Amino acid sequence: MFGEDYRYFNNIRGAELVKQLANKEISNCDALILQKQLCMSCCAALLKYIEHIQNIVFSSGALRFTFKDVENMCMIDLGSWKNLEIVDEFLSKDHRSLMSIINKTLTPSGARLLRSNLLQPSTDKPLIEARLDAVEELIDDPHLLERLRKIIARVHELDHVLAMFIRTNSEVTVQSAEYNITQLLHLRRTLHIVEPLRQVLSNVKSQLLVNNKNHLNDSRLDELIEILDDRINSDVLSTNKKNSITIRNQKCYAVKIFINEVRNRSSITFTSRSLIRYNDRIEQSVCEVLLAGDIVIQQIIENMRPHAAVLYYVMDAIANIDFLCSLAVYASTTQSVRPRFGTSVMLKGARHPLLDHSMPDRVVPNDTYLTPDSRFAIITGPNMAGKSTYLKQVSQLCLMAQMGSMVPAQIAVLPIFTRVFSRIGHNDCLAQNLSAFAVEMSEMAVILQYANERSLIVIDELARSKLSLYLIYCKSIFSGDRII
């Protein structure tokens, strides 16, 4: 970063932009939040980058600013994400992770919510219990679960739709006009799915599902549907081939005399001078129609912009329902149990989630018992006995429980952890010029500095071949109330 770039980190300017661009109904940036200088400085620099580099200008009162602290989240460092196999480090189909096993979502927003809850599980016990209640209700009513998933599978992603409402259209092009029309058609289809979703959720009992149902019952949704139905031709949504563009293409290509032939592996393309002229006329007509239609589209967007907040509610409701359905589908296909929360770790018949998925008939269940009076466990055994797998199993089950998921075990009683630390692997770091011993020293220093009485610490082969150092580590860690 160059020195002159620091001028963009202006907390006063950031607070002004947040107040100007925030939608007060869906944002939680009050006067206390606006006084956080570092936060507002970052907002100012980010918004300046979006405006000057990405050429995007936001409309006033259109953005959602949400301030989230870490008090109600379990913190997991980047190394533990990799060590505990929580998410895929690379987008490889061969690599298996906890995310790939649990992820049964049908929408991108639901998958993002699932991933964020895996990487930062909640420490809010009422919220965790509310999620478990909702998942349990979906498991007990398979018909409800199936109907919800069928409806959610038809939902279009609303992120791109919301982009039309939150930014101003600085330049009108054929591509932007076509994009806006496409997104409005997607919005119309999605809003028409809301009504059957309301009916399916009409008799739910768990508080979390009831809250999502209430968001979908907002009367402003009916106003948006009325605006769209009034200005958009319903025939464009028809699948009848008489209204399809394929017939027009078939007629255009029904030419007997060809002057140009293009061959490739899968097809042969022919064209003629007359066909080229007709195609140019069609393209010109389509451009004129799109540009004329964009004027109407912009009017529709302006009429709907005051109600844009309700679209955020719909997007969040669909993502939450998809997230809960994913947890319910996983629990329905696995021998799992609802976790309970206390001060001890008591796992009976627990199974590693990844092994339970890949080889369910060969997994050997394990028990774990840790209490405040007996919170230090040393796992011993021969090579390839499964010690590392056992350590990862306990950690993964704790994270699953805190995100609101059922866990593969017969009995599960777990504390609510605020930090999870892991020290697994004995590789050196060439990028930082650190040997394996130096890497272990730096990672253990972080654990000793930040671990508290509500931390879970998982260490594989601590201070290998260094008995004196091993005893020092154990004494330092055991001096607190951590669970190791």
Is pLDDT larger for residue 78 or for residue 40?
40
Task: Please answer whether residues 412 and 397 qualify as being in contact, where contact means their C-beta atoms are separated by less than 8 angstroms.
Answer: yes
CB-based contacts of 405: which residues, under 8 Å, 6+ apart? 102, 135, 327, 330, 331
Q: H/E/C letters for each residue in 289-349?
A: HHHHHHHHHHHHHHHHHHHHHHHHHHHHHHHHHHHHHHHHHHHHCCCCECCEECCCEEEEE
Round to whole Å and give the CA distance between 207 and 271: 62
41-55, 133-147, 414-428, 433-447: range with lowest mean pLDDT: 433-447
Q: At what angle do helices 219-231 and 174-200 cross, to 10 degrees?
A: 140
Torsion of CA 276, 281, 283, 285, to 10 degrees: -170
Round to whole Å and give the CA distance between 248 and 241: 10
- What percent of the chain is predicted at pLDDT more than 90? 23
CB-based contacts of 100: which residues, under 8 Å, 6+ apart? 88
What's the whole-number mean pLDDT along residues 473-484?
Answer: 64
Is pLDDT larger for residue 377 or for residue 103?
103
Round to whole Å and give the CA distance between 409 and 396: 12
pLDDT at 255: 38
Task: Please answer whether residues 411 and 439 qualify as being in contact, where contact means their C-beta atoms are separated by less than 8 angstroms.
Answer: no
One-letter identity of residue 407 = V
Give 318-343 pLDDT, tens digit per residue: 999 999 999 999 999 999 999 999 98
| CA nearest neighbour of 343 among 449, 417, 286 | 417
| pLDDT score of 463 more than 70 | no
- The two tokens of residue 431 are 């990028």
pLDDT at 152: 92
| pLDDT score of 161 more than 80 | yes
Tokens 């507002």 correspond to: 40
Round to whole Å and give the CA distance between 359 and 339: 23
pLDDT at 243: 46
71-85, 264-278, 354-368, 459-473: range with lowest mean pLDDT: 459-473
Half-sphere exposure of 124 (CA within 13 A, CB side): 12
Round to whole Å and give the CA distance between 160 and 269: 35
Round to whole Å and give the CA distance between 251 and 136: 56
What's the whole-number mean pLDDT along residues 213-228?
Answer: 86
| pLDDT score of 193 more than 60 | yes
Q: In this structure, how many other beta carbons lie within 10 angstroms of the beta carbon of residue 158?
A: 22
| pLDDT score of 73 more than 80 | yes
| pLDDT score of 103 more than 80 | yes
Please compute Rg for the chain using Cα positions: 28
Round to whole Å and give the CA distance between 157 and 147: 19
127-136, 262-271, 316-325, 380-389: range with lowest mean pLDDT: 262-271
Beta bridge partners of residue 345, listed in sequence order: 370
What's the whole-number mean pLDDT along residues 128-153?
Answer: 93
Round to whole Å and give the CA distance between 447 and 79: 12
Residue 408: which pLDDT band, with cuts at 50, 70 and 90? Answer: very high
Residue 226: which pLDDT band, with cuts at 50, 70 and 90? Answer: confident
**DSSP-derived pairing of the beta strands 268-271 and 345-350:** unpaired
pLDDT at 90: 56
Give 236-252 pLDDT, tens digit per residue: 554 444 444 544 443 44
210-219, 238-247, 322-331, 404-413: range with lowest mean pLDDT: 238-247
> What is the rounded average pLDDT for all residues in the chain?
81
* Domain ranges across the chain: 1-67, 336-474
| CA nearest neighbour of 326 among 427, 218, 431, 404 | 404
Question: What is 336-474's CATH topology?
Answer: Rossmann fold (3.40.50)
Burial pattern 58-91, b for ≥16 Cβ within 10 A else e, equals bbebbbbbeeeeeeebbbbbebbbebbbbbbeee
CB-neighbour burial class of residue 246 (10 A; exposed 0-12, middle 13-18, buried 19+) = exposed
Task: Please answer whether residues 425 and 83 qualify as being in contact, where contact means their C-beta atoms are separated by less than 8 angstroms.
Answer: yes
3-state secondary structure (DSSP) of residue 374: strand
What's the whole-number mean pLDDT along residues 216-232?
Answer: 84
pLDDT at 181: 80
